Amino acid sequence: MDDDDLFEFVEPQRVASPCVKICRLDTATGWCLGCGRTGGEIATWSSAGDAGRQVILDRLPARLATMRPS
């Protein structure tokens, strides 16, 4: 077997999407009413990698609290 027959192992991404299937952007904030991400964050989610995804996830609780005050 030569090197051309081998596939490079890529570690699976472990940070799951926060999507809750309520996909509408708030016109005032630009945040998704379901998960709190911006349209840009949603668009780049699949290519963001775990570190980038975690940065996005860390922003969401404050956004969601602002949109859904108790």
Any idea what DSSP says for residue 8? P
Overall average pLDDT of the 27-54 stretch: 96
Asked if residues 36 and 63 have their Cβ atoms less than 8 Å apart, the reply is yes
pLDDT tens, 2-34? 556 677 877 776 899 999 999 999 999 999 999
pTM for this predicted structure: 0.77
Q: Single out the residue of 56, 52, 20 nearest to residue 35, CA to CA.
A: 20
Q: Nearest 5 degrees, angle CA 11-CA 17-CA 19? A: 165
Q: Taking the domains of the chain in order of start, what are their residue ranges?
A: 19-67
66 vs 70, more confident? 66
CA distance 56 to 9: 26
